[in-house]
């Protein structure tokens, strides 16, 4: 949800297409629905250990001729079945492998032999993780046809929409494996597997009434909720015909650039898995939807998939994902589910701040005022609204420490990061002159590290109120500027430069977009 995508409309001349076989996806039978509201989702909705199942390889024949081809199933690199199958013309043929279910992780692969004159042989093999979460994609016909006509021009052995979709899911699985942080030493535990691909006529999505209406500049429900009746998959996304023009050659050639569409969709699927937008933890001094009475700004240290650099899973989201490792969906498999951001209120019972000046010295016997963001002030995502009346007034002890209770972020003890408001960050004012920030994500991280009863934090304050320390190195410098907010971060020019209005990270092409201003080469 809420990701900005620049538009690129390309006119690509049609080319003659050769015959091609491709392994589109591997399904598991029987299909099992996730259990709504399950308290045991690591077992509910999964096959029982030892239960008979069937793995089904789906082989698409892009040819008007029937072909016979040999095939092999391998498990962890060892051939476990082989044979020959007649593949029907212009259709998908199923090749089944009877098996029994185990919760252990294995690598299951299916290979089909190349046929003479085949357009590509690199898509004749597909490998999946047997314990992966299941993904369902609904694709309107024009998008599907666009990929079939244009994928070959990439020169990477890709011939169709299914190949692109598999690369996208593979990219997520790679990011999950590489999301290694102190709290996630083995990366993000879960992997994804495409369970079903449903091609539908143009303008057919959504196939069922959505569970919630589109809000603000959210993606259309045809994308986020293509068929909410289907609970056989853990994650779903719809590809509408109106978006076909966004999938130009440069958008599908690589996954390295965050502006390419595949990582954008992975971000959106992160919401379907209950992740919140980490960029909602930023505080901007930019009216009207981000009102700040003090003229100071803050940017979270947690960068990555759920912020605006979509090439890696951020530390905060990695820990949140592992809280539900191995669990099927429980309250929705679409964007956004009922339990989105459920972890936001994992807060220690008591929290102790040590207030330090810019040089690191504790400030003893200092007056500490905490200002909370007031939600429901603006019809915007993650709007913040701070007035100049302190919500808490406290005083540090001789060591510069002060207790702030369980939730100094709101009057009702609930942390929010959603439509019409975010209160994830409190502004801290010390002795009426020094400013800092207190981020609820820091409280979450301490809770997840096992400090559920008492946790401690350093809050650095200064006249400019730069950045609140939150248990790790800061990435941003945020400061007051005469003509707005100046944010600088070396390496990613497009993240936030002079454009500070928070925008959705995904847009349908029929919605107006703005352009970010790129700084001059070499600028900070």
What band does 8 get if pLDDT is binned at 50, 70 and 90? very low
What band does 466 get if pLDDT is binned at 50, 70 and 90? low
**Alpha-carbon torsion (409, 411, 412, 418), positive or negative:** negative
**Residues 6 or more apart from 424 whose CB is under 8 A from it?**
280, 281, 344, 373, 409, 415, 416, 417, 439, 440, 441
Q: What is the pLDDT of residue 301?
A: 86
Contact 78, 53 (CB under 8 A): no
In the chain, CATH 2.60.40.1120 covers 316-485
Q: Residue 280 has which token pair? A: 């909602």
- Using DSSP's 3-state secondary structure scheme, residue 260 falls into coil
Burial of 492 (0-12, 13-18, 19+ CB in 10 A): middle
Q: What size, in residues, is the chain?
A: 524
**Residues 6 or more apart from 398 whose CB is under 8 A from it?**
364, 365
Query: In the predicted model, is pLDDT for residue 17 greater than 80?
Result: no
Query: In the predicted model, is pLDDT for residue 508 greater than 80?
Result: no
Query: In the predicted model, is pLDDT for residue 410 greater than 80?
Result: yes
Q: Do the strands 192-200 and 133-140 form a parallel or antiparallel pair, or are they unpaired?
A: parallel
Give per-residue pLDDT as tens, 381-402: 899 999 999 999 999 999 999 9
- Using DSSP's 3-state secondary structure scheme, residue 404 falls into coil
The domain defined by 316-485 folds into Immunoglobulin-like (2.60.40)
- Angle, helices 315-323/440-448, rounded to nearest 10 degrees: 50
What is the Cα–Cα distance from 314 to 4, expressed in whole angstroms? 18
Mean pLDDT of 352-376: 94
Of residues 250 and 106, the one with the higher pLDDT is 106
Q: What is the pLDDT of residue 404?
A: 97
Average pLDDT over all residues of the chain = 84
Give the percent of the chain with pLDDT over 70: 82
Give the percent of the chain with pLDDT over 90: 68
- Write the DSSP symbol of residue 328: P
Of residues 368 and 289, the one with the higher pLDDT is 368
38: number of Cβ within 10 Å:
16
Give per-residue pLDDT as tens, 133-175: 999 999 999 999 988 988 888 788 899 999 999 999 999 999 9
Of the candidates 347, 352, 338, 337, the one whose C-alpha atom is nearest the C-alpha of residue 414 is 347
Of the candidates 293, 247, 33, 59, the one whose C-alpha atom is nearest the C-alpha of residue 148 is 247
Q: What is the pLDDT of residue 297?
A: 85
What is the Cα–Cα distance from 429 to 367, expressed in whole angstroms? 8
Helices (H) and strands (E) in the chain, counts: 7, 23
Give per-residue pLDDT as tens, 204-232: 999 999 998 777 767 789 999 999 999 99
- Using DSSP's 3-state secondary structure scheme, residue 349 falls into coil
Q: What is the pLDDT of residue 212?
A: 80
Contact 347, 452 (CB under 8 A): no
| Farthest-apart Cα atoms in the chain, separation | 84
Q: What is the pLDDT of residue 270?
A: 97
Q: What is the pLDDT of residue 18?
A: 67
Q: What is the pLDDT of residue 47?
A: 98
In the chain, CATH 2.60.40.10 covers 20-272
Q: Which CATH class is domain 20-272?
A: mainly beta
| β-strand partners of 74 | 79, 109
Q: What is the pLDDT of residue 465?
A: 66
Q: What is the pLDDT of residue 57?
A: 98
């Amino acid at each position: 949800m809420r990701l900005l995508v620049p538009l690129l409309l390309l006119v690509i001349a049609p080319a003659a297409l050769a015959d091609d076989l491709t392994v589109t996806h591997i399904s598991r039978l029987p299909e099992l629905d996730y259990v709504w509201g399950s308290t045991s989702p690591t077992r509910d909705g999964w096959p029982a250990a030892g239960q008979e199942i069937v793995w089904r390889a789906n082989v698409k024949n892009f040819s008007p001729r029937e072909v016979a081809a040999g095939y092999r199933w391998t498990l962890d690199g060892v051939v476990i079945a082989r044979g020959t199958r007649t593949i029907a013309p212009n259709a998908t043929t199923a090749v089944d492998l009877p098996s029994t279910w185990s919760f252990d992780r294995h690598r299951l692969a299916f290979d089909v032999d190349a046929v003479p004159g085949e357009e590509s042989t690199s898509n004749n093999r597909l490998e999946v993780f047997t314990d992966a979460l299941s993904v369902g994609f609904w694709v309107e016909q024009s998008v599907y046809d666009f990929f079939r006509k244009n994928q070959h021009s990439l020169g990477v052995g890709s011939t169709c929409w299914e190949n692109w979709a598999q690369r996208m899911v593979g990219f997520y699985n790679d990011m999950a494996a590489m999301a290694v942080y102190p709290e996630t030493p083995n990366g993000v535990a879960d992997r994804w597997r495409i369970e079903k691909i449903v091609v539908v006529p143009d303008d057919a999505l959504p196939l069922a009434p959505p569970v919630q209406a589109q809000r603000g500049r959210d993606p259309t429900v045809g994308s986020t909720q293509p068929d909410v009746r289907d609970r056989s998959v853990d994650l779903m996304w719809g590809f509408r015909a109106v978006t076909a023009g966004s999938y130009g050659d440069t958008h599908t050639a690589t996954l390295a650039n965050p502006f390419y569409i595949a990582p954008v969709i992975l971000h959106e699927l992160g919401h379907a898995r209950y992740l919140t937008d980490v960029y909602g933890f930023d505080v901007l001094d930019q009216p009207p939807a981000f009102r700040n009475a003090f003229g100071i700004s803050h940017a979270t240290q947690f960068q990555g998939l759920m912020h605006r650099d979509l090439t890696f899973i951020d530390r905060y989201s990695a820990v949140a994902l592992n809280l539900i490792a191995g669990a099927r969906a429980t309250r929705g498999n679409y964007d956004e589910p009922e339990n989105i951001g459920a972890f936001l209120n994992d807060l220690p019972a008591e929290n102790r701040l040590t207030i330090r000046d810019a040089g690191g010295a504790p400030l003893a016997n200092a007056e500490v005022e905490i200002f909370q963001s007031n939600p429901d002030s603006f019809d915007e995502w993650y709007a913040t609204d701070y007035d100049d009346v302190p919500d808490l007034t406290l005083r540090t002890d001789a060591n510069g420490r002060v207790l702030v209770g369980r939730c100094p972020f709101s009057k009702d003890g609930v942390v929010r990061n959603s439509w019409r408001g975010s209160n994830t960050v409190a502004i801290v004012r010390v002795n009426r002159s020094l400013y800092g920030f207190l981020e609820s994500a820091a409280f979450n991280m301490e809770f997840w590290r096992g400090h559920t009863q008492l946790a401690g934090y350093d809050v650095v304050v200064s006249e400019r109120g730069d950045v609140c320390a939150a248990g790790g190195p800061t990435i941003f410098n945020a400061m007051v500027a005469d003509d707005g907010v100046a944010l600088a971060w070396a390496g990613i020019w497009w993240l936030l430069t002079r454009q500070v209005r928070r925008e959705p990270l995904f847009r349908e092409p029929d919605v107006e977009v703005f352009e970010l201003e790129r700084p001059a080469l070499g600028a900070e």
